[in-house]
Amino acid sequence: MKLEVMPKQRVLEAEQREEAMEMSGLELWKHEKPPRICPMPSLIPPPAACDCDEAALVPPLNFAMVDDGIFRSGFPETSNFRFLKSLNLRSIVYLCPEPYPETNTEFLEENGIKLHQFGIEGRKEPFVEIPDDKIREALKVVLDPRNQPLLIHCKRGKHRTGCVVGCLRKLQKWCLSSVFDEYHRFAAAKARITDQRFMELFDVSTLKHLTPSNC
């Protein structure tokens, strides 16, 4: 006589078979090798290696263009030489009495740049004395096209350089308020009444024949 399996037993047997099949599939999956993924070729080329220090052009302190072929600044450091070389300078108008440093002199010699020195003492008020004759001689060099392109500089590019540029502006027929505005942009909190008075009283009549054509 054949015994019938109770429904409850059938359900239990079916669950056991399903569980066995799942475990068997899991074991097979563990032994399969994962698919190989090939990286896509990059469409962006890697950046070219460069020496940033070599490529940098660093202007001197307070550097600015005054006019075509005429620039101004503070004292150039060795880090500024590459930038100065890019200006193709013919001359430097140096307004301090101290001897030019050896490294700077060597740079001028290597690049065929002529040094014009007009030693003006850098004193503080109320002992400031601006020599009229030296300012005039410096302006004659600045206005001579044979010396351009040129750079005018002192120590910080504020007072002595500011006076030379301010007197040049008077030759260019700038009004005094504009002359003083430019002076203040570079001198800032160090602006001196003595410098401004000198520029105001400076007589440009003897230099008018040297006035640039664009003035």
Could you please report the per-residue DSSP string of 71-117?
EEESPPPGGGHHHHHHTT-SEEEE--SSPPPHHHHHHHHHTTPEEEE
Tokens of 133: 């004759």
50 is catalytic: no
Q: How far is CA 74 from the centre of its chain?
A: 14
Query: Coil, strand or helix: which one is 162?
Result: helix
Task: Report the DSSP beta bridge partners of residue 71.
Answer: 65, 151
Phi, psi of 26, rounded to the nearest 5 degrees: -65, -40
Cβ count near 26 (within 10 Å): 9
Which of 38, 154, 163, 215 is an active site residue? 154
> What is the rounded distance in angstroms from the CA atom of residue 19 to the CA atom of residue 24?
9
Q: Catalogue the active-site residues.
A: 154
